[in-house]
Amino acid sequence: MAKAISRFVCQSCGNVTTKWAGRCEACGEWNCIQEEKPLSRGPAGKSLGQARGRAVQLSDLSSKEAPPPRTACKLDELDRVLGGGLVPASAVLVGGDPGIGKSTLLLQAAAAFANAGLKVVYISGEEASAQVRLRAQRLNLADAPVKLATETNLRDILTTLDKERPDLAIVDSIQTMWADNVDSAPGSVSQVRAAAHELTTFAKRTGSAVIMVGHVTKDGQLAGPRVVEHMVDTVLYFEGERGHQFRILRSVKNRFGPADEIGVFEMTGGGLAEVSNPSALFLAERGEPSPGSVVFAGIEGTRPVLVEFQALVAPSPHSQPRRSVVGWDGGRLAMILAVLESRVGIPFAGLDVYLNVAGGMRVGEPAADLAVAAALLSAREDAALPRETVVFGEISLSGALRPVGQTENRLKEAAKLGFSTAILPSGGKAQGGPSVKLTQMADLTGFVGEVFGAG
């Protein structure tokens, strides 16, 4: 038998090489490459799990069978992100920064699903049983019918789950699990891949749903190999700023529902509270109209959300002006500044530009281009937009304004919160109605001339 060749794997990005190096050629990180032995079958009787699956002919499957029923809990925001509820035999991966509230969210979810009639097992590899019970008491969940286990050995966990056969198993976290047939440390690429594969296989084989918690890197991406995200059915990110009480559960992959759906929570002393109207919450602290403040009507998944863009433009004492962005794409900000200078003739040279999305929200859709341009021009010209005005639209490199989707939903949400005027691109299917007056623009030059009287 040929001898297995050792390989060296970067613990940051998962790049595989045949020799050790101090610096990873793929991601540039230092001291992150470790030697790992390749996965093998192992000795007889050492394979994880029970029995292998059997082949099933496609013709034997009944087309009349109904899809597996979803189980909804009382956490409506979580049900929304999952696509309507928890699907049997599904594997869900939840990632987020340390201390953001992942364990709190999943403990509340475990209690909610248990109260909905599911048999739930919560497995913690990071905390002792007494610590988990202490959190449950703080959240007033001590009487929830949830079975608790603290273990990191994957073989023991799978044996217990095979015996219990729960409807839902929560594993916190996947980085602490270790398989004894893989010769590497817990948290390494091989261990994370093996643990995720075995837990996902268990979910598909038994019909139990499995929720796994994953750590994130300093870049905000899920730690471990990218293949883990391909194994599971749903990938959720739990986001939020430490200085804000808002927490956002965002779906980036979902085989059973819409992707890019969000659920909004508020961190309180008694745990995470649902926010049924996030637009009102994000705009609650908005005061009188001020230069650089613009309200954007956006869409997150299937939900319209109104958020406030805040811009500050100030003379720069340095030869290289600063461009600082929080909650939006920095590359897209550079594009908007270039279009304003090239197509409209408004320079930002020698000016520091700061852009922030209020409330700790992150916006990624191109429909925010016009709102960002309006905030920048408002801050530069020291001219505030009217308080009851919302702005949305995409800006092309030619300076033209392009219509965006779901215009009606954006306008309905704006009207619900008392906004009376909307500035948007022309050419789209928009009907403002009696409560919202529409101001449609064809290009950025016309927008600047109409709103700020120049350009």
Residues in the annotated binding site for ATP: 96-103
What angle do the packed helices 102-115 and 129-138 form, to 10 degrees?
Answer: 80
Question: Cα separation of 81 and 251, whole Å?
Answer: 6
User: What secondary structure does DSSP assign to 239-275, as a single string?
Assistant: E--TTSSEEEEEEEEETTS-TT-EEEEEEETTEEEE-
Query: Which amino acid type is present at position 64?
Result: K
Secondary-structure percent of the chain, ordered helix, strand, coil, rounded to 5: 30, 25, 45
**Contact by Cβ (8 Å): 348, 380:** yes
Question: Cα separation of 407 and 423, whole Å?
Answer: 11
Phi, psi (deg, nearest 5) at residue 298 = -110, 175
Question: Cα separation of 313 and 352, whole Å?
Answer: 6
H helices of 382-417, where? 407-416
Give the residue ranges of the annotated binding site. Answer: 96-103
User: What secondary structure does DSSP assign to 202-227, as a single string?
Assistant: HHHHH--EEEEEE-B-TTSSBSS-TH
Question: Which residues is 394 bridged to in the sheet?
Answer: 402
Question: Cα separation of 253 and 259, whole Å?
Answer: 5
In angstroms, the Cα distances linking 338 to 315, 335, 363 are 18, 5, 20
